[in-house]
Amino acid sequence: MNPHDALLEIATLLERERSSRYKSQAFRTAAGAIAGLTDAQLRDTAGLRRRKGIGESSLAVIQEALGGGVPSYLADLRERAGGEVPSGLRGRLRGDLHSHSEWSDGLTPIDDMVAAARALGHEYLALTDHSPRLRVARGLSPERLREQMTVVEGFRDDSFTLLSGIEVDILDDGSLDQEDDLLERLDVVVASAHSKLRMERAPMTRRLVAAASHPRVDVLGHVTGRLVEGSRGTRPPSTFDAVEVFAACAAHGVAVEINSRPERQDPPDDLLALALEAGCLFSIDSDAHAPGQLSLIDHGAARAERAGVPPERIVTTWPLVRLREWTGRPR
């Protein structure tokens, strides 16, 4: 087995199962350290030990791969991931409108995210790094966002489009944490609440309705903010009048995000049913912070299928031309 491919696959599978970011990054770093090496250099154990970025675990993977078999660590990861069967809806998804790079709190450069999206067969991916107020996530100032928008232009060709975007923070009063003229220039705007999630029901309702009614918003992200599992622990959902919030989404053509991260499963099933009844559009998104997490849309697709969400109401099943017509709708 090609040692470089083995290291990258290990990193990807660790990212998918939301393992330690340091562990997955170590295998990506090791893959970069051996890129372009000859077979003789790869078999020079002493030389590999001296090479920056190669540790004992990655060295063992390289040696097992050179020995002609699948490295045991990779085999274990494949076995853990092997029981997951994609839903029928998964094959209809054309892209993803919520992802992060190392520009904010993602783990990898933009080009790694693009390469992973291409490998999954995506036609498009929206890069939606965080907005300024989320300092813990290195949210993008207006200046950095303008710089990123220029970089994004270089990742578009006939077979794949990287869409410029943002996950903009919904402020306490429902306004958005970025300059309005910048939001207007972006391809996709995902609006999410990240603070004061325990706000009382009435003000939280007003906050989310204001965001869903904003003329720059395309997607309402992880609407309840809940966490149901994972290393960050659990967090109860925000309380608000879901009927009123989803009515605002439906009235303004804003998609309700079906967040595919297993620790979120947001919105909960009962609210997903209310959004469906309200006539909302939906966006099945990975909320990926690393290349291997882009494949988490499997989980969102399975939830949407179980809930009976019609594929035609899921904007991420749409071809790029139709998606752009929707994001460019009169506001």
Q: Which CATH number is 65's domain given? A: 1.10.150.110
- Identify whether residues 44 and 179 lie together within a single domain: no
For residue 188, the 8-state DSSP code is E
- Choose the final residue of a domain: 59, 81, 103: 81
What is the rounded CA–CA span in Å between residue 191 and residue 146? 18
Sequence-distant (≥ 6) Cβ neighbours of residue 46 within 8 angstroms: none
CA atoms within 13 A on the CB side of 326: 25
For a pLDDT cut of 70, what percent of the chain falls above it? 99
Verify that 112 and 235 share a domain, yes or no: yes
**pLDDT of 132 strictly over 70:** yes
Do residue 44 and residue 70 come from a single domain?
Answer: yes
Which among 31, 57, 81 is the end of a domain?
81
Does one domain contain both 138 and 238?
Answer: yes
- What is the reported pLDDT for 72? 96
Structure confidence at residue 84 (pLDDT): 63
**Residues 247-290: tens digit of each pLDDT:** 999 999 999 999 999 999 999 999 999 999 999 999 999 999 99
> Over the chain, what is the mean pLDDT?
96
Same domain, residue pair 26 and 160: no
Enumerate residues 6+ apart whose C-beta is below 8 A from 161.
Answer: 123, 124, 125, 320
253 and 157 assigned to the same domain: yes
Q: Model confidence over 93-126: pLDDT tens digits?
A: 999 999 999 999 998 999 999 999 999 999 999 9
Please say whether the beta carbons of 117 and 127 come within 8 A.
no
Q: Which helix (H) or strand (E) holds 11?
A: helix 3-16
Number of domains in the chain: 2
Q: What average pLDDT does this structure show over 291-307?
A: 96
pLDDT of residue 21: 87
Alpha helix positions (H), 226-288:
242-252, 269-277
Percent of all residues in the chain with a pLDDT value above 90, rounded to a whole number: 92
- Across 138-149, average pLDDT: 97
Question: What's the confidence (pLDDT) of residue 192?
Answer: 98
User: Domain boundary residue among 27, 62, 81?
Assistant: 81
Q: pLDDT tens digits for 51-88?
A: 999 999 999 999 999 999 999 999 999 998 876 667 89
What DSSP state is assigned to residue 156? B
pTM of the model: 0.92
Give the pLDDT score at 314. 98
Identify the CATH number of the domain in which residue 260 sits.
Answer: 3.20.20.140
Judge whether residue 230 has pLDDT over 90.
Answer: no
Instruction: Map residue 290 onto helix, strand or coil.
Output: coil
Q: Is the domain of 65 the same as that of 17?
A: yes
pLDDT in tens, 196-226: 999 999 999 999 999 999 999 999 999 999 9
- Shared domain for 69 and 97, answered yes or no, is no
Structure confidence at residue 158 as a pLDDT band (50, 70, 90): confident
Looking at the predicted structure, is the pLDDT value of residue 14 above 70? yes
Are residue 155 and residue 186 in the same domain, yes or no?
yes
Domain containing 29 equals 3-81
For residue 156, the model assigns a pLDDT of 87
Q: Are residues 246 and 288 in the same domain?
A: yes
57 and 160 belong to one structural domain = no
Statement to judge: residues 177 and 228 lie in one domain: yes
